[in-house]
Amino acid sequence: VEPNGKDISMAQFEKIEAGMSYDDVKGILGRDGLLMSEVSLMGHDAKIFVWMNKAGANMNISFSNGNVDSKTQTGLK
């Protein structure tokens, strides 16, 4: 995974809430994430996207049926 634009911050991470759409998240972060995983099973779609900074700090956001389900971060400031 390589960084794909302007660094993201902890303040941006904290604005992301359960139930938001991918477009909502993209609007907060100002760039697309990298799709890391995608599963579709019995009418349920799950996707995990990662956003990474140049120094390696990153966030992972899980979407369930198009909405934020969970989020994690490592090293954001």
Beta-carbon count within 10 A of 44 CB: 9
pLDDT score of 4 more than 80: no
Contact 7, 21 (CB under 8 A): no
pLDDT confidence band for 5 (50 / 70 / 90): confident
pTM of the model as a whole: 0.92
Look over the chain and give the mean of its residue pLDDT values, rounded to a whole number. Answer: 94
Interval 35-56: pLDDT, tens: 999 999 999 999 999 999 999 9
pLDDT of residue 2: 60
Residue 1 has pLDDT above 70, yes or no: no
